[in-house]
């Protein structure tokens, strides 16, 4: 069973640009959550999508957005990049009921903003 | 979700048991204790979870105190590959949410 796949793994952007990151969840999982990890703030929840609808949202500015497609694949977008957006962006997939509460994380997309 | 407190770092000798404590004094009756770990440059990995009974799986054991205000994750025979940041999280199980509140975690260094 394939795990959570995130692309690209590494990318470099400059301030003011925008970036799109992709996440393919484990087959059969319909929930996708996104997290940002920085040395200063640690792991922070960005948002969660289930059945193409945003179900939860963290405390991030509107520059951070996401969407989910009918095949459960998800993308997140960051517009007008700032230096502070440099981070590891992690995607996690889970089953609907979270019976076990287990999330499966991908390897992440490491974004560097210059 | 209740807040957790963990030591910043711990060392453990290879082959010995690693005991990682976590305080969650404000935990509610319907909140579970979950443990994840993150090996350097990888995504977090689920380890184990429990409500009030002690739990064991192939990776670790979880001991929860009777008052549920604290717990201990036990890696029975730590290896170098267990060097990671360990996160203790409390959340309502079956809450239909992929939102986890991560603290700073405990950096476990397993030494030869």
- The alpha carbon of residue A100 is apart from the nearest alpha carbon of chain B, in Å, by 7
Instruction: Report whether pLDDT(A108) > 70.
Output: yes
**Cα–Cα dist B57/B34, whole Å:** 13
Residues linked to residue B49 through DSSP beta bridges, in sequence order:
B34
Task: For residue B85, list chain A residues with Cβ-Cβ distance below 8 A.
Answer: none
CB count in 10 Å sphere of residue A23: 27
**Cα–Cα dist B98/B112, whole Å:** 37
- For B49-99, how does the pLDDT look when each residue is reduced to its tens digit (9 = 90+)? 999 989 999 999 999 999 999 999 999 999 999 999 999 998 876 565 778
Counting beta carbons within 10 angstroms of the beta carbon of residue B22, is it exposed (0 to 12), middle (13 to 18) or buried (19 or more)?
buried
On average, the pLDDT of chain B sits at: 92
For the residues A18-24, what does the mean pLDDT come to? 98
**Cα–Cα dist A79/A62, whole Å:** 9
**Cα–Cα dist B48/B54, whole Å:** 11
Retrieve residue B95's tokens: 């809450």
Cβ pair A48:B97 closer than 8 A:
yes
| DSSP summary character for residue A75 | E
The residue with greater pLDDT, A28 or A64, is A64
- The alpha carbon of residue B46 is apart from the nearest alpha carbon of chain A, in Å, by 6
Interface size A-B, in CB pairs within 8 Å, comes to 73
Q: Is A102's Cβ below 8 Å from some Cβ in B?
A: yes
Supply the pLDDT for residue B85: 97
- Mutation site, B37, B43, B45, B57, interface A, largest A CB count within 10 A: B43
Supply the pLDDT for residue A99: 54
Q: Burial letters for B65-102: b for 16+ Cβ neighbours within 10 Å, e otherwise?
A: eeebebbbbbbeebeeebbbbbbbbbbeeeeebbbbbb
Supply the pLDDT for residue B28: 87
Cβ pair B34:A101 closer than 8 A:
yes
Residue of A nearest to B33 (CA): A101
Instruction: Report whether pLDDT(B100) > 90.
Output: no
For the residues B34-40, what does the mean pLDDT come to? 94
Please state which of the ranges A10-19, A69-78, B38-47 shows the lowest mean pLDDT.
Answer: B38-47
- pLDDT band, very low/low/confident/very high, at A55 (cuts 50, 70, 90): confident
The residues on B that touch A, with CB distances below 8 Å, are: 32, 34, 41-46, 49, 87, 91, 93-105
Cβ-contact B78, B17 below 8 angstroms: yes
Supply the pLDDT for residue A95: 77
For the residues A42-50, what does the mean pLDDT come to? 92
């Amino acid at each position: 069973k394939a795990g959570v796949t995130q692309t690209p793994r590494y990318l470099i952007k400059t301030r003011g640009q925008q970036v799109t990151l992709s996440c393919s969840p484990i087959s059969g999982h319909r929930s996708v959550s996104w997290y940002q990890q920085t040395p200063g703030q640690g792991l922070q929840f960005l948002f969660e999508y289930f059945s193409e609808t945003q179900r939860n949202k963290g405390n991030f500015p509107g520059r951070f957005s996401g969407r989910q497609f009918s095949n459960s694949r998800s993308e997140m977008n960051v517009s007008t990049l700032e230096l502070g957006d440099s981070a590891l962006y992690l995607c996690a997939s889970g089953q609907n009921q979270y019976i076990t509460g287990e999330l499966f994380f991908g390897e992440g997309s490491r974004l560097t903003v210059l | 979700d209740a807040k957790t407190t963990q030591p910043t770092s711990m060392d453990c000798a290879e082959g010995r048991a690693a005991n990682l404590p976590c305080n969650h004094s404000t935990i509610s009756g319907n909140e579970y204790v979950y443990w994840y770990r993150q090996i350097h440059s990888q995504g977090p990995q689920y380890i184990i979870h429990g409500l009030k009974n002690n739990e064991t799986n192939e990776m670790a054991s979880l001991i929860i105190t009777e008052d549920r205000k604290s717990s201990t994750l036990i890696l029975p025979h730590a290896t170098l590959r267990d060097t990671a940041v360990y996160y203790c999280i409390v959340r309502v199980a079956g809450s239909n949410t992929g939102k986890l509140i991560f603290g700073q975690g405990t950096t476990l260094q397993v030494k030869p």
